[in-house]
Structure 1
């Protein structure tokens, strides 16, 4: 018998940006996120916001100077040891609607594709970071 996981899933993903207002606005407009906490910069901590994305998941976003952000967000391997994160939605229909909201909010967007048992949509946020939104696919779902 396999031991049961002690975690409930991800609580948050922490990310950095050079423009906290722009990135926050994108996640609020495209995903219906809610800013639940904001903190002004202090001598030993950058400005930050926590964006509730629903389902117990949040983004903790820290604002730092552009020149202090290492790596190349548009290149796999250049993004560091964590390449991207995937957000979950409840259905293909929600994913279709979300695609339009992300386009309206200024995201660079890919096509919805079937990857195994998931519908997948890759996009780039305003910082150029590649991310993904997924929905479980029913065995009877046909590729659209």
Structure 2
């Protein structure tokens, strides 16, 4: 049995923190639980509560300091993407509709093994996934 209880947070980089916070708040009702102004040796950051004990820690850095190609598998760096969990197919469908309304670049809901999956891109072009258990 694992000693861990799942993921605590995923950290990501953006050149526009306000835009990313607005997107995740609008798309997933994420709540900002912590904000920190930039200071020597540490960029401006926000922590977004994604529910279920999971958080997204977002650091604002100049665009030229973000390494990788967010739109290419294998070129995104050591963390290729992360998946957000929702409780049901109905919630996943509502999330898809909300992402469309926000103008997000999204795919179609598909069955991947025991999960329903929807891939999308956030405003920075990062490919992400929303999943729920099938069945």
User: TM-score band (shorter)?
Assistant: over 0.9
Name the counterpart of 1:39: 36
1:91 to 88, 97, 102: 88
1:49-88 matched pairs, under 5 angstroms: 49-88=46-85
Following superposition, the deviation at residue 126 of structure 1 comes to: 0.4
Match of 2:97 in 1: 100
After TM superposition, the score normalised by the length of structure 2 is 0.98
1:83-104 deviation per Cα after TM superposition (whole angstroms, max 9, x unaligned): 1110110100000000111122
What's the CA shift string for 1:64-120, capped at 9, x where partnerless?
000000000000011012211101101000000001111222311100000111000
The alpha carbon displacement at 1:51 in A equals 0.3
| Aligned structure 1 segments of 4 or more residues deviating by more than 3 angstroms | none
Q: Distance in 1 between matches of 2:102 and 2:24?
A: 9
Q: Deviations over 1:44-79 (max 9, x none)?
A: 100000000100000000000000000000000110
The 8 Å contact of residues 118 and 135 in structure 1, kept in 2 or not, is answered as: yes
Partner of 1:136: 133
Q: Secondary structure at the match of 1:95?
A: helix
CA distance in 2, matches of 1:64, 1:26: 18
Contact kept, 8 Å, 1:77 with 1:83, in 2: the verdict is yes
Q: Which has the larger radius of gyration?
A: 1
Query: Is the 8 Å Cα contact of residues 106 and 126 (structure 1) preserved in structure 2?
Result: no
Supply the distance in 2 between the matched residues of 1:100 and 1:19 (Cα, whole angstroms).
24
Structure 1 unaligned spans of 5+ = 139-144
| Structure 2 unaligned blocks of 5 or more | none
